[in-house]
Structure 1
Amino acid sequence: MSQRVWIAGGEVICGAGENLAACLAAFEQMQPGMGAMQHLRSVHHGTFPVAEVKADNAALAEKAGMPAHWSRTALLSMIAARGAWERSGLGPIANYRVGFVSANTVGGMDKTEHFMEDYLQDPSKGKLREVVHHECGSITDLVAARLGVRHHVSTISTACSSGANALMYGARMIRSGMLDAVIAGGTDALTRFTLNGFNTLMILDQQRCRPFDDTRAGLNLGEGAGYVVLVSDELAKTVQPWCRLSGFANANDAYHQTASSPDGTGNYLAMKGALDMAGLQPADIGYINLHGTGTQNNDSSEGLAITRLFAPHFPPASSTKSFTGHTLGASGGIEAVFSAWSLKEGVIYPNAQFAHRMKELPFSPATAFSKGNALRHVMSNSFGFGGNCSSLVFSENDF
C-alpha cells in the first residue's frame, strides 16, 4: 500500500456550467445555477428552484455522442467521464489497466418515470428500453463500455457521500497495485421521485439556498456529473498532475436515517481520519469545500465538527452547492474536481447568498471568489444520509 495516488485531470457538468471552465466563470461572476424547472416535469414547477443542466436530453446525447434513449444520468456521466480522461493527457485508455468507479443514487429513474406514465394509461404502450437500465449499476456499465474500460467497473451508492467514496475505492485499487488509473466520481439526474422525497422531508428551500447562513431554510436540488482521473506514481510522472489525493476517510455515526448527529460525530471522525492519513494537522488545510447543503441539521452538525477540529484558527471554507445545488450522488465527484482545481490554481470559491453568521458557530464562509492563494492542502467534505460521512484531502504537486 505504498503507492501514492495523483489527480491527473477532471471534468464536470452541472447546473452552474457545462464544463469546469464555465463553472469557474460562474463562481467568479457570482452566477448560481438555480432557476425554474425547464426539463423536469413536476407539479412543484413554480415552487422549488433547481440547478438543472442547461440542455435537454437530445442536446446531451449529441454532446455525448450517445443514443438519445439513454437516461439523463448516463448521458451526464459519459460527458464528464470522457472529459476527465481527455484532460488527463494519458492517451488511449487501452494502453493502461483502467477502472471506472462511478456513483449515483437514481440510476435510470428519469426514464422509468416517463415509461410508467404511458404504461399506466395503456399497458400496450411504453418502450421497455426506458426501464431496462433503471438500476444504478446499469448506468455505470453503459458508460464503462463506451469508454472502453475493461479492467474493473464498480458502482457506489451511499447517498450523498457516494462520489467521495468512489474516489476512496479507486485510490485503494491503485495503492494496492491492481490498477494504473481509475476514472472516479459520480453522476445523478433530477427526478420527480427525488424532488418529492426531499419535499416530504421538508428540507427544500423555495428560494436559492443559503448554506451556513443563520436564515437558511433548506437545500436546492441539482444534477450533474463530476469525475477525476486517479493515477499511480508511475503514470503521474508521464503527465502534469493537478495534485495528490493524500488522505481520505469514511465514518458512520448511525444517528438517524436522514440526519447527521447534532454534534457532528461522524463529520469530525471523517475529517480527522483524512488528516491522519495525510499526516497533516488542521492548521495545514488552506481551504475546505464544505458539504454545506443549507439544511438546519447539516450545516449545524458540520459547523460544530469543524469548530471542534479547527478552532481557534479556521481556514477559508465555502459551499459550492450554493451554485450547483445538491447533486446527491454526483456531489462528491463534482466537488472533488473543484477542490483539486482549487489547490492547483490557488482558488477559493464563494459561498453565495450568505449574509448572517450562524449563532452557534465562531466562523463564517468565504463570500468572494479569489485566486492566486498559496494553498498546499485542501479538504472536501461529503456527508450522506444514514450518517455516512466522508472527507478527502488533496495536497500540492510535489514532483
Structure 2
Amino acid sequence: MAERVFITGMGMITAIGDTVAANFSSLQQQQSGLGFTSYIDTIYKDILPVAAVKHSTAALSEMAGIIAGPAYTRTTLLGLLAMQEALQQAGIRDLQQEPAGFINASTVGGMCDTEKVYFDIIDREKKGDFLQYVDTLDCADCTQRIADKVGFSAYITTISTACSSSANALMYGARLVKQGLLRRVVCGGTEALTRFTLNGFNSLKNVDKRPCRPFDQQRNGLNLGEGAAYLVLESESLARENNSRILAELTGYCNTNEAFHPTAPSPEGDGAYTAMKTALAMSGRSTGEVQYVNVHGTATLNNDISEGKALERLFGAQVPPFSSTKPFTGHTLAAAGAIEAIYAVLAIQHQVIFPNLNFTEQMEELSITPETRLLEAPVETVISNSFGFGGNNASLVISKYER
C-alpha cells in the first residue's frame, strides 16, 4: 500500500517576511510586500513595482552564516535561509540519520548575479576573473550549493518548469515517498529578481505599473517578486517512528501539460480544469469538501479568465472561496508553488482564508469573485494552483491531518 505523505516542516522568506510566522503576520495584517527595488539595476526600478526581499545580498549572506562571494548568489542565499528554517521546524539536525532527498526548483539560477557582469564577460579587453560567475548561472548550481551546505546526499535534483516549478518539485517528492524510494524529501524552490525576467515579462506586456489586481475587470498584468520556500515531506511510517509534528497532508496532486501556446493558457481553462479535477480525485475529496482555493491568479488578462472558467467548470454554482496571494508576494515564478503551498497549510492551521487584495470590479467573463476579506472559516482541504508557460499546470490538494 502506498505511503501517505505528511508535511512536517516549512521554511520561507518573501517580501512580506523572513520566516513562516512573519509571512502569516503580514497576511493577517493585509500588508503587501510590493514596492520599488533598490537591489536590481534597471531602468524600470522606479516605474514597475516588484516584491523584493527586504535585505541586500550581503545581509542575506550574514543571515545565512555564509562568507559573501560570487559562489553564493542571491538565489542560493534565499534558498538556504528558507531551508534552514524548514529543517529546524521539522527537528532535523542530521540529514544522514535518515537519507533525505532534495528536490529544488528555480528558473533564474544565478542569473541575478551573472547578468551584472555580462558585458564584462564578453569584453575581451576587460581584465578580471568574471568567468567565476558563469558557474553559478545553471539552476542546478544553487541546488548543489544548498545541498552541500546542509548535508543532502541521498538524492538531489533540480526542476525548472516556469511558474509551476516548485509545485512540481512537491509532486515529485511525494511520488518518491509514496513509492517507498525515500521516506523524507525536502521540496520547494528559490528565485531572485533579475533584469532578465523583468524585461522579459514587460516585453510580453504582462507587467502592471500599479499593484496587481487578480480577477479584477481592470487587471493589467502581474508584479514580479522573489523569495524561497521549502516543505519537508515524510512518509507516514517515518513520521510515526519519529513522533513528528504533522502540519498537514499532501493528499492529491496532478500536472497536466496542455501545450496550447508558449505563453498563454487555453481560453476555456482545459489544463487547469483537468489538473484540479485529477488532483482532487487522488485526494479522495469531493468538490463540496474544498473550503479554499489558492488560485494561480497572476492578474494577467488571459490567465485569470482561463483559471476562472476552470473553477466554474469544476465546481459549478458552488465555487468555494478563492483568492490570489500574489498581491502580497508578487509572482515569485519558480518559488510560487512552494510559497503558496505553505499558505495553504497556514490556512488549515489557523482556519482562515486569505484576502485577494486590490479587487474592486467583477470580471465580465465570470460569474465569480475572489474573497476580499481575511475570513475566519473552517478549512480542512485547500487546492493550490501553479500554472506555467507552455501550459504546464500543477494543482496540489493539501488537507488537514486526520489519523
Q: Does 1:31 find its partner at 2:31?
A: yes
AA aligned to 1:302 is: E
Distance in 2, Cα, partners of 1:295 & 1:50: 15
SS in 2 for 1:67: coil
Please name the residue that 1:339 is paired with: 344
Structure 2 counterparts to residues 60-209 of structure 1, below 5 A: 60-69=60-69, 70-120=72-122, 122-209=125-212
Distance in 1, Cα, partners of 2:120 & 2:43: 18
Q: Does 1:293 find its partner at 2:298?
A: yes
Please name the residue that 1:312 is paired with: 317
Deviation at 1:45, TM superposition (A): 1.3
Please name the residue that 2:370 is paired with: 365
SS in 2 for 1:262: coil
SS in 1 for 2:23: helix
Please name the residue that 2:228 is paired with: 225
AA aligned to 1:236 is: A
| Residues 3 and 237, structure 2, Cα contact 8 Å, conserved in 1 | no
**TM-score, normalising length: structure 1:** 0.97
Q: 1:276 aligns with which of 281, 294, 316?
A: 281
Deviation at 1:64, TM superposition (A): 1.1
Q: Give unpaired runs (5+ residues) of structure 1.
A: none
| Residues 13 and 228, structure 2, Cα contact 8 Å, conserved in 1 | yes
| Residues 251 and 388, structure 1, Cα contact 8 Å, conserved in 2 | yes
Deviation at 1:120, TM superposition (A): 4.6
Deviation at 1:226, TM superposition (A): 0.8
SS in 1 for 2:30: coil
SS in 2 for 1:302: helix
AA aligned to 1:193 is: F
Q: 2:239 aligns with which of 216, 236, 244?
A: 236
Deviation at 1:322, TM superposition (A): 1.1
SS in 2 for 1:268: helix
AA aligned to 1:84 is: A
Please name the residue that 1:392 is paired with: 396
Distance in 2, Cα, partners of 1:209 & 1:230: 32
Distance in 1, Cα, partners of 2:21 & 2:55: 17
Deviation at 1:345, TM superposition (A): 2.0
- Displaced runs of 4 or more, over 4 A: none
| Residues 249 and 391, structure 1, Cα contact 8 Å, conserved in 2 | yes
Please name the residue that 1:253 is paired with: 258
> Per-residue displacement from partner, 1:127-179 (whole Å, max 9, x unpaired)?
33322111111110110111101100010000000010000000011111111
Distance in 2, Cα, partners of 1:312 & 1:136: 42
- Aligned residue pairs, count: 398
Distance in 2, Cα, partners of 1:112 & 1:269: 38
Distance in 2, Cα, partners of 1:195 & 1:126: 27
SS in 1 for 2:137: coil
Distance in 2, Cα, partners of 1:120 & 1:67: 28
Please name the residue that 1:382 is paired with: 386
Q: Does 1:19 find its partner at 2:22?
A: no
Deviation at 1:340, TM superposition (A): 1.4
| Residues 24 and 346, structure 2, Cα contact 8 Å, conserved in 1 | no
SS in 1 for 2:222: coil
| Residues 121 and 131, structure 2, Cα contact 8 Å, conserved in 1 | no
Distance in 2, Cα, partners of 1:262 & 1:357: 18
Deviation at 1:217, TM superposition (A): 0.4
Q: Does 1:56 find its partner at 2:51?
A: no
| Residues 73 and 110, structure 2, Cα contact 8 Å, conserved in 1 | yes
The share of aligned pairs that are identical, in percent, is 46
| Residues 6 and 231, structure 1, Cα contact 8 Å, conserved in 2 | yes
> Per-residue displacement from partner, 1:289-310 (whole Å, max 9, x unpaired)?
1100010111110000000001
AA aligned to 1:105 is: T
| Residues 157 and 329, structure 1, Cα contact 8 Å, conserved in 2 | yes
> Per-residue displacement from partner, 1:32-52 (whole Å, max 9, x unpaired)?
101011111101112100000
Deviation at 1:367, TM superposition (A): 1.1
Please name the residue that 2:2 is paired with: 2
Q: Give unpaired runs (5+ residues) of structure 2.
A: none
Distance in 2, Cα, partners of 1:19 & 1:96: 25
**TM-score, normalising length: structure 2:** 0.96
SS in 2 for 1:92: coil
Please name the residue that 1:41 is paired with: 41
SS in 1 for 2:312: helix
Distance in 2, Cα, partners of 1:243 & 1:359: 36
Deviation at 1:328, TM superposition (A): 0.3
AA aligned to 1:175 is: K
* Higher mean displacement: 150-159 or 337-346: 337-346
AA aligned to 2:401 is: N
Distance in 1, Cα, partners of 2:186 & 2:67: 22
SS in 1 for 2:96: helix
| Residues 205 and 220, structure 1, Cα contact 8 Å, conserved in 2 | yes
| Residues 120 and 130, structure 2, Cα contact 8 Å, conserved in 1 | no
> Per-residue displacement from partner, 1:89-141 (whole Å, max 9, x unpaired)?
24422211101101000010011111224345543224333221111111101
SS in 1 for 2:193: coil
| Residues 209 and 220, structure 1, Cα contact 8 Å, conserved in 2 | yes
